[in-house]
Structure 1
Amino acid sequence: MTKISLQDMIAEELADVGQHVRYKLPTSRARSTVWLGERGLGVRRYASGRAVYIVQTRMGGRCRTITIAPTSVITEHRASMIARRVMAHAEVGHDPADDRLRMRSAPIFQDFLDEYWKRTMPRWKKSSREMHASYRRLYLEGSFPGISIDEIGEEHVTRWFAALNNNTGPGAANRVLAILNAMLNKGEEWGYRIDGTNPCRSVRRNKSRKIERFLSSAELRRLGEVLEEDQSVEGSQRSTVAAAMTLLLLTGCRASEVTGLQWPDVRGNRLKLRDSKTGPRTVWLGDAARTVLDALPRSRNIPWVFWNSERRAPLIKLSNYWPSLRDRAELSNVRLHDLRHTFASHAAMSNETLSMIGRLLGHRSLSSTSRYAHLGEEHVSSAAQQIGSTIERLMI
């Protein structure tokens, strides 16, 4: 077997795992190796007390020993997975040592963050750029100080994500983790990390909180009465807000899609949204929604459909007006976004298919639509009664 010096092992470790382990070289070469159940996988222990996972395989007609990572950094299961990849590469003639120079040139995290933003940001939607910029400023800047992009391992990301959860909500933490995951994937694509070593894949995301709240028929009537009362005050801010809220209910649009609406976007019985969460899309209008828009005043110098008459600017956040409307309608535990959920849920109760509901909402996949298809108890009861009556008639 070809012997490899300790220095070579460290270099191979940098190439294969991306772990820049800083420690004092042991003065003694005494070491022992314990082979594990996985073929070719073992644990090598040095006199200094340091232990690393290694894998032995044949490359170029000779036996090679490749250091995977310290046992304190990854689990045996993870080491086993890496060992299999190393042996798979060896079978097709790839030598991990060829990546040595590439990995040594990997930038530190902060420099890579700047590079990633510069190279990928131009392809993001405007709304995504704004959201990502906020997350970068709050939760990515200053993370992993002094650590090279190829050095970031599972233990680094796990500690970072735990701290992130202490500083923000579970949903926001998941979104920031998704950004880091995309960054490290690009790190592999751009040659800064070994393929398949993204540690974000091993970090358990926060469970999403599935909201099933939608307005019942009685609640819709109470809210409708409040909105009708406000819309009757012509020329007031209350009337404009009430019209915007009504359009949310009648179309299932997101609040940002309504506040960003301009008159050129209104084309007959449809809205041609220039931007939304899923990109440009068409929103189809029923007669009731069209009536709401036709009743709104237009100003030659104001392009916005819903605008603040005092500031002569578009409504910024409908959520600022929602608490008062909700309380007046005696609605409990209802968010503004639940108006969109209400549209989808009542569509489901009207026997619309998930694919149709998804198209109305602008979803990209049915998995997104399925959480809007919950049915009310009264609807399920009615369906059970109808089916039971049908079967009873057939049995007579």
Structure 2
Amino acid sequence: MTALSLRRIAEEALADIAIRSPARLALGPERETCWGKELPGFGIRSYASGRSLYVVQARMGGRTRTITLCSTALISRRQALDVARRILLRAQVDEDPADARKRTRANPPFDSFLALFWERISPKWKPSTLVTNDQYRRLYLNGAFGRKGVDKITQADVAQWFASAAERGGQGGANRVMSILKAAFNKAEDWGMRPANSNPCSGIRLYPQMRFARFLREEELARLGVALQSEAMDSPLHVAAIALLLLTGCRLSEIGGLLWSEVVGRRLKLTDSKTGPRTVWLGEEAARLLQSVSQSGRAEVFWNERTGKPICIRSFWYDFRRRHGFEGLRIHDLRHSFASHGAAMSETLPMIGKLLGHANIQSTARYAHLDDCDLINIAEIIGNCLERLVA
């Protein structure tokens, strides 16, 4: 083929393009997409040839992608919408790797988050709560999840940690520290460090609460009184503190940390208790007991001059109960006895709850119960009454 022939073919081709171009321009663009209003990202793409396809546009893998479903001739628009919804839902669930990397860099490891949580939240706690929670943090929370990011901790991670905490510190302690951890993860959601409703503590059942089943009956109380009198000469402060626990129904921390400034006449004006500031009313015997305690010039009522710090009631109690045959009797059972004897004397639960400083009636109901003998006696009284009525 000569050079002249090649030139002629090229000229004819250019002439043909010039002839056909106006017609192509008149047809408009090669394709056009019409996006539907019922579902963002769903549309129909039409071509100049007359062919039309269903398409879905979604962000995947860090960029926007368009997925072709099929020809509009094969399925109805409603069927195409169903398929498109599933694809868009899947795109929302699948994480964009780029976003994941950004979030991993932004979200701190658990220990750093815990420090931030403590810094922001602990100033709102009562002083006694702060002391307790600091101890739980040191024993169970610091290093609990290694360097794992706060947003990467799963329910399985928490379940494993919870079981380990129960083995080390008992089920009751594990339950209490779980409440701290759950509150921390709730804040992680509020602060944008975890997705909403993703708290890994949710759904993990706490260990069953221990039921208080023991209180001192009259003969046991008499024996306890004799035992305390036998120790009064050697340990007057410890004996006075234990007697005060029994006479007031106070918690160990409330009596162990009692200040002289909180003793106001026949009342204890406690500035810090489990439920916040509260008043404890003193009976005549309890008031006389406090008056017998010598003041050492310290702010604390039960101050040990020899050791230079408050007395340790719990340590004394462990030795005391062993010496006098009260094995298994806890200090908290003295509070329980106070409530139960109040119930036996027909005091109402609201009244007993007021004396104990309970925030709700359910707490009081756990303590104030009668034993089998009391129930049998009451059942017999009711039965005799009914028998007289139907006779």
Normalised to the residue count of structure 2, the TM-score between the two structures is 0.74
CA contact 1:226–1:328 (8 Å) conserved in 2: no
Matching residue of 1:345 = 340
Q: Secondary structure at the match of 1:272?
A: strand
Q: What is the alpha-carbon distance in structure 1 between the residues aligned to residue 209 and residue 364 of structure 2?
A: 15
Q: CA deviation at 1:138?
A: 2.0
* 124-133 or 335-344, which deviates more: 124-133
In structure 2, relative to structure 1, the CA distance for the partners of 1:64 and 1:254 (3 Å cut) is: closer
Q: Higher helix proportion, which one?
A: 2
Q: Secondary structure at the match of 2:279?
A: strand
Match of 2:390 among 383, 392, 395: 395
| Structure 1 segment 76-91 matched on structure 2, within 5 A | none
Q: CA deviation at 1:180?
A: 1.1
Amino acid at match of 1:65: R
Q: CA deviation at 1:251?
A: 0.4
Q: Secondary structure at the match of 1:371?
A: helix
Which structure would you say has the larger Rg? 2
Identity of aligned residues (%): 43
In structure 2, relative to structure 1, the CA distance for the partners of 1:5 and 1:350 (3 Å cut) is: same
CA contact 1:214–1:339 (8 Å) conserved in 2: yes
Amino acid at match of 2:380: Q
Q: Secondary structure at the match of 2:210?
A: coil
Q: Secondary structure at the match of 2:90?
A: strand
Match of 2:358 among 356, 363, 378: 363
Residue 261 (structure 1) aligned with residue 258 (structure 2): yes
| Structure 1 segment 80-229 matched on structure 2, within 5 A | 105-229=106-230
Q: CA deviation at 1:163?
A: 2.8
In structure 2, relative to structure 1, the CA distance for the partners of 1:291 and 1:363 (3 Å cut) is: same
Structure 2, unpaired ranges of 5+? 1-41, 43-55, 68-82
Match of 1:65 among 85, 90, 100: 90
CA contact 2:110–2:148 (8 Å) conserved in 1: yes
In structure 2, relative to structure 1, the CA distance for the partners of 1:167 and 1:331 (3 Å cut) is: closer
CA contact 1:219–1:331 (8 Å) conserved in 2: no
Q: Secondary structure at the match of 1:206?
A: coil
Q: What is the alpha-carbon distance in structure 1 between the residues aligned to residue 164 and residue 294 of structure 2?
A: 50
Amino acid at match of 1:241: H
Matching residue of 1:7 = 61
Q: What is the alpha-carbon distance in structure 2 between the residues aligned to residue 188 and residue 363 of structure 1?
A: 31
The CA RMSD measured in Å over matched residues stands at 2.9
CA contact 1:4–1:65 (8 Å) conserved in 2: no
In structure 2, relative to structure 1, the CA distance for the partners of 1:146 and 1:240 (3 Å cut) is: closer
CA contact 1:212–1:371 (8 Å) conserved in 2: no
Q: CA deviation at 1:320?
A: 0.9
In structure 2, relative to structure 1, the CA distance for the partners of 1:168 and 1:304 (3 Å cut) is: closer
Residue 330 (structure 1) aligned with residue 384 (structure 2): no
Matching residue of 1:293 = 290
Q: What is the alpha-carbon distance in structure 1 between the residues aligned to residue 90 and residue 162 of structure 2?
A: 34
Q: CA deviation at 1:102?
A: 6.5
Q: CA deviation at 1:312?
A: 4.3
Larger RCO: Structure 1 or Structure 2 (Cα < 8 Å, ≥ 6 residues apart)? 1
Amino acid at match of 1:225: V
Q: Secondary structure at the match of 2:113?
A: helix
Matching residue of 1:282 = 279
Structure 1, unpaired ranges of 5+? 12-28, 30-54, 71-96
Q: What is the alpha-carbon distance in structure 2 between the residues aligned to residue 56 and residue 109 of structure 1?
A: 38
